[in-house]
Amino acid sequence: MPLLLEGVTILDLTRLLPGPYGTMLLADLGAEVVKVEEPEVGDYAREFSPSVGGEGALFQAVNRNKKSLALNLKAQAGKAVFRRLCAAADVVVEQFRPGVMDRLGLGFEALRATNPRLVYCALTGYGQDGPYRDRVGHDINYIASGGILGITGAEGGPPVLPGVQIADLSGGLTVAFGIVAALLARERTGEGRFVDVAMLDTVVSWLSLPAAVFGASGDVPKRGRFFLSGGLPGYQVYETKDGGYITVGALEAKFWRNLCLALGREDLIPFAEPDDAKGREVRAELARIFRSRTRAEWVERLSHAEVCFAPVNDLAETFADPQVLHRGMLAEVPLPDGTIMALPGTPLHLSSGARTRHEPPPALGQHTGALLLRAGYSAEEIAAMRAAGAIR
CA 16-21-25 angle, to 5 degrees, is 155
The answer to whether 2 and 152 are in contact (CB under 8 A) is: no
Alpha-carbon gap, residue 89 to 374, rounded angstroms: 12
Q: Side-chain half-sphere of 148: how many Cα atoms within 13 Å?
A: 23
111 to 11, 128, 184, 207, 313: CA distances (angstroms) = 12, 18, 20, 36, 47
Active site residues: 168
Number of other CB atoms surrounding residue 342 within 10 Å: 11
Alpha-carbon gap, residue 216 to 209, rounded angstroms: 11
Listed in sequence order, the residues at least 6 apart from 19 whose beta carbon sits closer than 8 Å to its beta carbon are 12, 13, 93, 94, 95, 123, 171, 172, 175
The answer to whether 63 and 43 are in contact (CB under 8 A) is: yes
